[in-house]
Amino acid sequence: MTTLPPLLGHPVRRPTPDDHLPVLAVLDRWWGGLGGEEGSRQRALLLPKLMFQHFSSSSFLVTADERIVAFLIGFLSPSRPAESYIHFVGVDPAERGKGLGAALYERFFAYSRENGRSVVRAITSPVNKDSHAFHTRMGFVTEPGPKEFEGLPVQPDYDGPGLDRLSFRKDL
């Protein structure tokens, strides 16, 4: 198992396929049931086991007493050599507001820079106001879009029919 320098005193390691089901098990609670049953289904589908098999070396998992308290699934874009991508991030509600999410992002930014990346991208659902606030605080710009949702620029049908998204970009 690859251990990494701690974050805010918490052990950090690379996720493994054994972490797949434990991470799925916390999603609904950590996301507060956002989007109801459909939101729950979509979140689970966004984290298939392959993320824990093939994206492990660019992802991070934070624990406390062996319990998962935060994770970031990201990767260096294989097709866009200047870019990296944060696919999914979550922090246990009990551990929020202490800088853990920011520290995870900074760790991924450093990893991206070390690997020659100058742009980080991420997307989120327009209803996820917390995610928008967090990404804005972390220096991401919400890219212009042809549609608006509650004042935010939206990419309509970005992930398929009816699956609108906010698109974030940060220049490192």
Ligand X SMILES: CC(C)(COP(=O)(O)OP(=O)(O)OC[C@H]1O[C@@H](n2cnc3c(N)ncnc32)[C@H](O)[C@@H]1OP(=O)(O)O)[C@@H](O)C(=O)NCCC(=O)NCCS
Residues that bind ligand X in the complex, under the rule CB under 6 A? 30-31, 88-91, 96-102, 124, 128, 130-131, 133-134, 137
Based on CB atoms, which residue is closest to ligand X, 24 or 102? Answer: 102
**Least distance (Å) from ligand X to the CB of residue 97?**
5
**Least distance (Å) from ligand X to the CB of residue 44?**
13
Rounded-to-integer distance, Cα 87 and Cα 163, Å: 16
Tokens of 81: 């050599």
Q: Which distant-in-sequence residues (6+ apart) come within 8 Å of 76 by Cβ?
A: 58, 83, 84, 85, 112, 115, 117
Based on CB atoms, which residue is closest to ligand X, 89 or 120? Answer: 89
CA distances for 74 relative to 24, 33, 122, 144, angstroms: 16, 23, 9, 23
**Least distance (Å) from ligand X to the CB of residue 72?**
9
Based on CB atoms, which residue is closest to ligand X, 56 or 125? Answer: 125
Closest chain position to ligand X (CB)? 101
**Least distance (Å) from ligand X to the CB of residue 125?**
8
Based on CB atoms, which residue is closest to ligand X, 33 or 116? Answer: 33
**Least distance (Å) from ligand X to the CB of residue 69?**
10
Based on CB atoms, which residue is closest to ligand X, 50 or 81? Answer: 50
